[in-house]
A and B are shown apart, each in its own frame.
Chain A
């Protein structure tokens, strides 16, 4: 047994930390206020090959593993959750292609995404299809040797500036994923969400209005089921979310400690009050449990041994820990946690999405329960 990070992982961690501190942290507030994506950060990250971390070398990736990718998300999450989500959406789009694409598609599409020459997004959710993917109403009709896509996608992170989108649609023979270039006629970028938080990574509405695609744009070829591709990518995207949750929770704790030691009430720093100490201890303990669970799950995934249940438990726990820790961060900061001129209120607005996006906490609970009950021979109703 050896729980220590490898030298390579430690080296990456240093690099991610420097990058987050120098390039990401200074922009966090501005992205939130201006509700704009961190385009300059993405390009700088690409130049340092940070977008290539988890991908195989044959597609120009760094092949540094999923835990290293997690460490990147953790460090980004510490300083700017919106940037972490932006990077996560891009990498997940690439991972959808890696998981579902034909060798030809991978060779032609992945290197430019991995290198960050192109930015990716994925368009899966719709107004009436969130947790329930079978409700997707976007259609892909075969017309000669082209697919024609019609429908509307919502909450597409990176949707307004991505060069390439992975789109889920219903064909006459079941669900399929398509790679759609932003220049495709019929792809119309709608509005950026006005959101409570993660304003630097706001989701967009995307319209597909008679969008015509060559058959070769269907990921994995004619027989490949689109839901299967998405399910194969969930572990990756959810792992990223979990590490980002870890990051923002650590940030919340660090800020709370700093505040508690300086804030004077009743003749001394509030750090001396046991009620505050209790909050801090609970925050630290939950964070520690999340850290080890995240490292363990990443390791399981790298070994090819993770189950859907492992991922679901991690995602569930990460969302619960992060939202709870940031809630307590606000509480410790009192009025300072509520005002716009201080960043804690942003953490609170940002973190709430973590228990919702990339699979709600409810979906994770169902997945865990389903697996537990399946082990004793009970098939749960969908």
Chain B
């Protein structure tokens, strides 16, 4: 037993923290206000190898594993959820799908430029009528010689308007549905018939680009079938499992930032002749935040370790995702309360933190779906099948 971070991971945290201080923090409020993608940050992060942090070095990755990736997610999210959302969609789901299930040729071709950050990735599963009920996607892929022809649309795709490579899920056999009838494809933005539709305006994570993708007779070479034909839904679930752990780590960073902001404010703000930090009502909110954050931290890194040591982790990933996002939401809410009306002012960090936090309870599997993942596993362990 040893809960210490390795030397490499400690160094990684230091490096990322320094990067965040220099490059991310100064523009965090600005990219939110202007609703713009921080290209300068992405390019610098790519240069430092951050865009391939968890992946093996043979693909040009950082070899830091899920633990290293979680460290990065925690540190960046402390300061800017938008930036982490972009990196998360690129690394944790877009590229991850290719890494997990891609053929050796696909990995050799796509992973190095993605890991080096020369190209950006996105993950395209959700459709207008298929959110939590992802098995109901309708985007069709029909074989035509050496190609598949895709028709349909995807919505709420993070990095949708800025990515070069997409992991796209489409129906290849409507009769089979999610059980063998969905196939994953690697789609490049230059493929004919692919275009970006509406780019959404959002309450939070406004520096990240969320877009609609439209496929109109989009021709995808058959060699770009991601992994096994018909096994796309499994690829999607496996990928989301890993992504969820990182959502928890990002939520941890957001929660820590909220606590730090609450403490700093409570110390400065005077009411009734003393700093409000002297009031037990405030102290109790701060203590509850700290205790929940500590519980979350334990859960995040333990689960990341399970990923890295090849233990089964679906159940734990779901736990980390929904517990983490709710801890973060409670923390930003308490921190906002401590700030009083000042917390509602644009430009105050907690105002942005409060808006940014809310998405984590929704994306990469709503918390309702993640609870069902956990409950289903609980019953599976006692031999009962629920939610077939």
Q: Which residues of A contact B (CB under 8 A)?
A: 1-6, 9, 67, 253, 257-258, 261, 269, 271-272, 274, 276-278, 280-282, 284-286, 288-290, 292-293, 295-296, 299-300, 309-310, 312-314, 316-317, 320, 362, 364-370, 372-373, 376-378, 380-381
> Which of B259, B277, B287, B299 counts the most A-chain CB atoms under 10 A from its CB?
B287
Closest B residue, CB atoms, query A368:
B287
Partner of A1, one of B3, B294, B319: B3
- Bound-state Cα–Cα, A369 to B318, Å: 30
Q: Which residues of A contact B376 (CB under 8 A)?
A: 277
- Report chain B residues within 8 Å CB of A320: 291
Residues of chain A with a CB closer than 8 A to B368's CB: 274, 278
Say how far B50's CB is from chain A's closest CB, in angstroms: 21
Question: Chain B: residues with CB nearer than 8 A to chain A?
Answer: 1-6, 9, 67, 259, 263-264, 266-267, 275, 277-278, 280, 282-284, 286-288, 290-292, 294-296, 298-299, 301-302, 305-306, 315-316, 318-319, 322-323, 368, 370-376, 378-379, 382, 384, 386-387
Q: How far is the CB of A16 from chain B (nearest CB, A)?
A: 17
State the CA gap A370–B277 with chains docked (Å). 9
18 intermolecular pairs with C-beta atoms under 8 Å apart? A2-B2, A3-B302, A6-B1, A280-B374, A281-B372, A284-B319, A286-B323, A292-B299, A300-B3, A310-B294, A312-B287, A314-B294, A316-B288, A317-B291, A367-B287, A369-B284, A373-B266, A380-B283
- Given A274-B372, A369-B287; A381-B278 close (CB under 8 Å): yes
20 additional A-B pairs beyond A365-B283, A380-B283, beta carbons within 8 Å, are A1-B4, A1-B6, A3-B306, A257-B379, A278-B375, A281-B322, A281-B374, A284-B315, A285-B319, A288-B316, A292-B298, A293-B295, A309-B290, A312-B291, A365-B287, A366-B280, A369-B286, A370-B283, A372-B286, A373-B267
Q: Lowest 9 A-B CB distances belong to which pairs?
A: A369-B283, A277-B375, A292-B298, A365-B287, A281-B374, A368-B287, A281-B371, A289-B295, A285-B319
Instruction: With A261-B379, A299-B3, A309-B290 as known contacts, state yes or no: A378 contacts B267, CB within 8 Å.
Output: yes
CB pair B291 A313 closer than 8 Å: yes
Nearest-neighbour CB distance to chain B for A24, whole angstroms, equals: 23
Instruction: Tell me the bound Cα distance from A310 to B290 in angstroms.
Output: 10
A261–B382 contact, CB under 8 A?
Answer: yes
Q: How far is the CA of A313 from the CA of B4 in the complex (A)?
A: 19
Task: List A contacts of B301 (CB < 8 A).
Answer: 1
Q: Is the CB of B378 within 8 A of A280?
A: yes
**Main SS of the interface on chain A?**
helix
Cβ contact within 8 Å between A278 and B291: no
Centre residue among B5, B368, B371 by max chain A CB count within 10 A: B371
* B305 pairs with A3, CB closer than 8 A: yes
A63 CB, min distance to chain B CBs, angstroms: 16
CA A261 to CA B382, docked complex, whole Å: 9
> CA A270 – CA B80 in complex, angstroms?
43
| A293 in contact with B298 (CB, 8 Å) | yes
Shortest A118–chain B CB gap in Å is: 33
Q: Are B287 and A376 in contact (CB under 8 A)?
A: no
Q: Are the C-beta atoms of B302 and A277 separated by less than 8 Å? A: no
B302, A368: Cβ atoms closer than 8 Å? no
Decide yes or no: A257 and B296 within 8 Å by CB, A277-B371, A281-B372 being known contacts: no
Residues of A within 8 A of B384 (CB): 261, 269, 271
> How long is the Cα–Cα vector from A3 to B301 in the complex, in angstroms?
9
- The interface residues of chain B lying within 8 Å CB-to-CB of A276 are 375
Q: Name the A residues within 8 Å of B374 (CB-CB).
A: 280-281, 284-285
State A365–B287 Cα separation when bound (angstroms). Answer: 5
Distance A364 CA – B275 CA, assembled complex (angstroms): 21
- Which of A253, A271, A292, A364 is the one whose CB lies under 8 Å from B302? A292
Q: Which residues on the B side are within 8 Å of A274 (C-beta)?
A: 368, 372
The distance from the CB of A190 to the nearest CB of chain B, in whole angstroms, is: 34
Contacts of B278 in A (CB 8 A): 378, 380-381
Q: In whole angstroms, what is the CA distance A309 to B293 when docked?
A: 13
Partner pick for A313 among B263, B282, B290, B302, CB 8 A cutoff: B290
- A365 close to B264 (CB less than 8 A): no
Which A residues are CB-close (under 8 A) to B372? 274, 277, 281
Query: B291, A316: Cβ atoms under 8 Å?
Result: yes
Contact A368 B291 (CB under 8 A): yes
Report B-chain residues with C-beta under 8 Å of the C-beta of A67.
1
Decide: A373 and B291 in contact? CB cutoff 8 A.
Answer: no
- Which of B3, B6, B9, B319 is most buried by chain A, counting CB atoms within 10 A of its CB? B3
Residue on A nearest B319 in the bound complex, by CB: A285
Contact between B5 and A1 (Cβ–Cβ < 8 Å)? yes
Whether the pair A289, B296 counts as a contact (CB closer than 8 A) is yes
Give the residue name and chain of the B residue nearest to A367 (CB): B287
CA distance A73 to B323 in the complex (A): 26
Chain B positions within 8 Å of A309 at CB level: 290
Residue of A9, A272, A310, A364 touching B386 (CB-CB under 8 A): A272
Contact call A376/B263, Cβ cutoff below 8 A: yes
CB distance from A102 to the nearest CB of B (A): 33
With a cutoff of 8 Å between Cβ atoms, the chain A residues found around residue B4 in the complex are 1
* Docked CA distance A81–B288 (Å): 25
> Bound state CA distance, A257 and B382, in angstroms?
8
Given A278-B375, A293-B295, A380-B283: A373 and B1 interface contact (C-beta under 8 Å): no
Q: Complex formed: what's the CA distance from A32 to B301 in Å? A: 40
B287 neighbours in A (Cβ, 8 Å) = 312-313, 316, 364-369, 372
- Docked Cα-Cα span, A6 to B278, in Å, equals 44
Which of B2, B67, B378: most chain A Cβ within 10 A?
A: B378
**Chain B residue at minimal CB-CB distance from A315:** B291
